[in-house]
A and B are shown apart, each in its own frame.
Chain A
Amino acid sequence: MTTTRAIANGNMPDKEYGEPVIELTAARKVYRSGTIEFEALRGVDLEIRQGEYVAIMGPSGSGKSTLMNILGCLDTLTTGHYRLAGHDVDDLDEAELAEIRNKEIGFVFQQFNLLPSLEAWRNVELPLMYARVPGHERRARAERALERVGLGSRFVNKPGELSGGQQQRVAVARALVGEPTMILADEPTGNLDSVSTEDVLGLFDELHDLGRTIVLITHELEVAQRARRIVRVKDGLIQGDTAEGALLATVAGGAA
């Protein structure tokens, strides 16, 4: 049973991980709408190391989407500090953040977010275009990334000609192609049936085995349990982290 395996893996204490990729210190995020203030993150500390496979879990409104935006450099903190792969991202401007996103993060979204007018490989090469990689090299790398996710034969298909699972694989290939420091997946299985879900999660397992850092945001326990570490967010705070010896039973029990 998958759940059992995930729990066993999540508790494995002896797996060695590398340098910190994500260092979040006293992270607060306040949204203002007129006179109303909403504190989405209320002081979060989080460290994720090179090679980890982490699931960030929580119900809607828990602050996990805000956390995902911060981790993805799509938004900046109100107070606190965030270091990503050694870069301080707190004071970067929009163009510098774009460069960090391009180099350090491979996004996978719930809605796939493929451009419907472009062939699969054209979608995959997009991050390389913004990294100014020359055209012939982009094509070769896009081809390799598509082969890596098992879609070598779907090179020239447009997203509309692919199934949901295949589209998400193209998105994973796009996240991989720039060799980013981490893959940030936001509800990657939210729009997939159970077969495709298994498909994509299997792919993440393989990537983890190859040493990739993966951060997966989800509200589904079954999906989170495929990760090696589960960080549980509620009301803008981290409520449980299996890496800090929090009992998995608590996490599992809380979700049940």
Chain B
Amino acid sequence: MVKRLILPVVAVLVLLACCLLSLLVGRVWIDPAVLADGLTTPRTDLAWLILFELRVPRTVLALLVGGSLGLSGAVLQGLLRNPLADPGLLGVTAGASLGAVIAIYFGLSASVALVTPVLGIIGAVLAAALTLAIGRNGTLTMILAGAAVSGLMGAGLSLALNFAPSPYAAYEITSWLLGSLADRGWDQVLLALPFMLAGWACLIATMRDLDALTLGEVQAESLGVNLGRTRLLALAGTALAVGSATAVCGSIGFIGLMAPHLVRPFVGHEPRRVLLPAAFVGALLLLVADIAARLIPSSLELKLGVLTSLAGTPFFFWLVLRLRRMAPS
């Protein structure tokens, strides 16, 4: 019993340590004393302002976004029974990106800051609706529909870059697409949070069905699983959680792919038990990546999405090699 508790306890301690680090690290290093002091007595100086208005929302957002990516990745891998599935598969990420880029393209983001994430969420939901409309009949058709929708949204992104009104707009679009948590505030957290909570509820509701899918689709259906409902919940949950995450901070790759793999061996590969640990590990990975992005010295900001891709690709290679070794030749 005690042995079973060690791993979760250590994981939570590591997460807390990373949260603390995330609050203190950055262009301006915060003295831990400011944090301790500010908790007991109200402060209004610059250090406290940076801490409360920038670092705390950034840390919270890293946890929420990473958690959404990890959870959605675990659900999709369980649903598709494919270890290479990730939240970008259903066209949701591309849809959210296109929505946000439209806001930047027409200069709407300059007038009201929140227009970008709002349009991003609308884009994610529309992309998911399109994927569902075309590919509702089966899991394979849903993946193909997702690929088609991703392609369509990608074409829209290219079009926006092609006709960008000024080089500056093109630069703004590209740098937004790279994904970052810098300069996000409480507004973004509060905007994304309700969508994420709704998405998590949908994703977690698939737990039991994912377990039954261990036996394949036919047996799962014979055991009373309504596969159409499971697919709908997974798609809607991904659209809401990952869509709003992408709308707020751009597309961030590999977290959704990696997190479920990292936890699977520790929970006996049971799809149900992968979900919450995957969300936890996703949150931890993104937080660590964000801290690293702030620590690595560079004249320009190192974008978070770039860093996760750089760090994630070797993992992907390892995964492919491992699958090749396990598969019968």
Q: Do A and B bind each other?
A: no
